[in-house]
Structure 1
Amino acid sequence: MTALRQAVRTYLDHLTVERGLSRNTLASYRRDLDRYLESLTAAGITELAAVTPADLTRHLLVLREGTPEHPPLSAASAARAVSAVRGLHRFAAREGLAAHDVSRDVKPPAPPRRLPKALDVDQVTRLLEAVTGDEPLALRDRALLEFLYGTGARISETVGLAVDDVDDAVVTLHGKGGRTRLVPLGSYARAALDAYLVRGRPSLAAAGRGTPAVFLNARGGALSRQSAWTILHRAAAAAGLPVEGAHAVSPHTLRHSYATHLLDGGADVRVVQELLGHASVTTTQVYTLVTVDRLREVYATAHPRAR
């Protein structure tokens, strides 16, 4: 194993054990750092101590411009990739693998500030009412959609939900970095979940080998993220909502809608931060831009002196 590859492996082990990053984040870091090693190797660099700021800058330019093997990255993806590389160099300097941190003066590109997509209340209602029937899979699909919108849970938190995580009026969600939080369960989500747990899940579980997961597939195993996406897309299509293109409905659309509707209803941004499981309130504040934008629309159409 080369010195570069060993340094990356040691750094990823550190992130796993000491930082407790999620599996998805670690996978992204691994891909980013593998591409960085390709860039260094192509330049004839065999150890981190030999890397210069110019090497890092060149790598960043390649990320944004692309190569025949790799398409250009967006500003957000490039920012994540450079953050992974900077973290590697900070770690190398701290652990004595390099004399100093050459990435200190290299800044990742600032990602554009995008407003999250959100459905309005009528669209959400159409989506949630698109699933009909009382067979086990229909009960599961309805419970899944009500749960996503009723709790604002990430899709990974939803498919990872265990039966013991569900209490009478709250659920325990296991979020990024091993953090857990309690989220209230509204009456609609509670009713749909109860109907599924009593009349749907036992039939599905009978086909499997026993799993604590709440949401099961037809074989009795835990529902996958991909299957949950399929369920949502099927319901969105039935409700006449977009399933392709920039405005396609996704599990995160329901999370965005959850946050936006809470803020529209007067919820404090700090409370919404806690409900969403954001480590920083800055992340949550992006949703306030959505509500301000909506206020501008209402003002423009309703006030006689607006235009």
Structure 2
Amino acid sequence: MPSPAPSSAPLPAGQDRAEITSRKVVGLPERLDPADDSLSAWTQRYLDLAVRGVRSAEVTAKISRHLERFGAWISGGLGHDRLSAVTVREVAAWRDHLDAAGNSGRDGTAAPMAAATVNNHLAHLSALFSWITAHAPAGLLRHGDPTKQVPPLPLPAPQPRALAAAQVRTVKNIVDRIEVFHELKGRRHRGTAARSHAHARPLRDRVIVYLLFGTGLRRAEVVGLDLDQLESADPDRLRQTKKARLTGVRGKGRTSRTVFLGRDARQALADYLQSERPGDAAASAVAGTAAVALFLSAASIAARRPDGRLSPRSINTIVGEIGRLHDAQVPEADRKLGTLRPHDARHTFAFALSQASGHNRAELERRLGHANDRYLRLYTNPPEDIAASYIEDL
């Protein structure tokens, strides 16, 4: 049954659509049949009336994907998708299925899904059934909300992921020499002036790594930055000033904060803005699209977005490559990083900030854009070598 169009009735004066939907009081279009017993139909109504236009496009896509997985689980297991047939047993079985085989491995075989991701699926399903409960006719959910009696999976104790001081030093050493690793090598390039691969942007990658380690920005926050958020965007002034900053950095939960830039990030930004970004920005202009993003992908990449903005996944690639270069250069096993992730840089920054600020909670909240006690406590946990030194002589 096709999903009907959302209601177009005007909102009461002074009320915001996001506020109304969050309270689950949006009325259903009058032409809907309230007795319709279809999980897929109710899911589409929920997405149309309470998610699309209220949540970001990225979050909306994730919620839709999670609910689609539950719908497939019900239809595949029961042979139909009647909403009234969804019980606590079915929800619990779906949770356990995701926990055991919710992912696909590289070879296509089933693989476990992380407990936090499973719980995220359950949270989105619970929001759906809370909305349905508020709007469904009496008797449709005869046994009540089936998600309320299904507990989330226990989460493992969060582990500190901050790099040790020696590791940070060698990472920065690699980043300082990053142009060397991008140079074309081989017999036909010997005796010629050093030249980088066409897609390589070593100056951009350098500033991104320094920004992650020096500000604690999340990867989505990095790719979401626009040039006009940088004060100042003039390379010469960046090299001289000590108060350069990024304003209006958009974080989770529609938060916004100001981020100050350290010496390494300022110098690297100045080099990037002066030498690399202008060429990639000009390519966007030729294509008829303004390059407003601070960090741009190489103009030579065929699959480049029209505006040149990087994707969050590209930050993983950049940071992961730095980690691989680091481990190839470092012989000591206890200094190797394994897989380096953007969030490792965030943890490293947060621990250093906690130490420098005397564990000032307000400063951690302000600079990290995170007020959750669980994570703020995690950020103050030291790397293992520092933790071990605390008790060495006790």
With the shorter chain as reference, the TM-score category is 0.7 to 0.9
**Equivalent position of 2:246 in the other structure:** 171
Q: Which runs of 4+ in 1 moved over 4 A?
A: 67-70, 133-136, 292-295
1:11 paired residue number: 46
Give the TM-score normalised by the residue count of structure 2.
Answer: 0.67
Distance 1:296 1:148 in 2: 24
Report what 2:376 is aligned to. Answer: 284
Query: Whose relative contact order is higher, 1 or 2, with alpha carbons under 8 Å and at least 6 apart?
Result: 1
The one of 346, 354, 357 equivalent to 1:255 is 346
The answer on whether the counterparts of 2:88 and 2:146 sit within 8 Å (CA) in structure 1 is: yes
The alpha-carbon deviation at position 292 of structure 1 amounts to 8.6
Alignment CA distance shift 1:217-1:62 (3 Å): closer
Q: Which blocks of at least 5 consecutive residues in structure 1 are unaligned?
A: none
The answer to whether 1:195 aligns with 2:259 is: no
Deviation at 1:229, TM superposition (A): 2.6
| Percentage of identical aligned residues | 30
SS of the aligned residue for 1:117 comes to coil
Task: Give the whole-Å Cα distance in 2 for the aligned partners of 1:122 and 1:292.
Answer: 11
* C-alpha distance 10-275 of structure 1, shift in aligned 2 (>3 A): farther
Q: How many residues align?
A: 298
Determine helix, strand or coil for the equivalent of 1:124: helix
**Matches of residues 142-161 of structure 1 in structure 2 within 5 Å?**
142-161=206-225
Could you say which structure has the higher helix fraction? 1
Measure the CA separation in 2 of the matches of 1:292 and 1:238.
22
Task: Go from structure 1 to structure 2 and tell me whether the alpha carbon gap of 1:296 and 1:124 turns closer, same or farther (over 3 Å shift).
Answer: closer
* Mapped partners of 1:103, 1:227: distance in 2: 36
Letter aligned with residue 31 of structure 1: R
Long gaps (5+) in structure 2: 3-37, 181-195, 233-243, 301-307, 330-335
SS of 2:81's partner is coil
Find the aligned partners of 1:285 and 1:12 in 2 and give their Cα distance.
35
Deviations 1:17-68 (A, max 9, x none): 34x3x44443333232112111211224533333222222222222223389
Once residues 162 and 223 of structure 2 are traced to their aligned partners in structure 1, the CA distance between those partners, rounded to angstroms, is: 22
CA contact (8 A) 2:162 2:383 kept: no
User: CA 1:292–1:196 in structure 2 vs 1: closer, same or farther (change >3 Å)?
Assistant: closer
Distance 1:277 1:48, change over 3 A: farther
Measure the CA separation in 2 of the matches of 1:157 and 1:167: 17
Task: Give the conservation status (yes or no) of the 8 Å contact 2:283–2:299.
Answer: yes
In structure 1, the residue matched to 2:202 is 138
RMSD: 2.9
Could you report, residue by residue, the CA deviation over 1:262-284 in whole angstroms, capped at 9, with x for unpaired residues? 12332413321232222523322
Secondary structure of 1:143's partner? helix
Alignment of 1:1-307 (within 5 A): 1=1, 3-13=38-48, 14-18=50-54, 20=55, 22-41=56-75, 42-66=77-101, 70-96=110-136, 98-99=140-141, 100-131=144-175, 132=177, 133=179, 137-168=201-232, 169-172=244-247, 173-209=249-285, 210-219=290-299, 221-240=308-327, 247-265=338-356, 266-288=358-380, 290-291=381-382, 296-301=387-392, 303=393, 306=394
Deviations 1:159-210 (A, max 9, x none): 1210011124221311224322212212221221122112321122222233
Tell me how far apart the structure 2 counterparts of residues 125 and 181 of structure 1 sit (CA, whole Å): 28
Equivalent position amino acid for 1:299 in 2: Y
Report the TM-score when normalising by structure 1: 0.85
Q: By how many angstroms is 1:89 displaced? A: 1.0
* Structure with larger Rg: 2
Secondary structure of the equivalent of 1:57?
A: helix
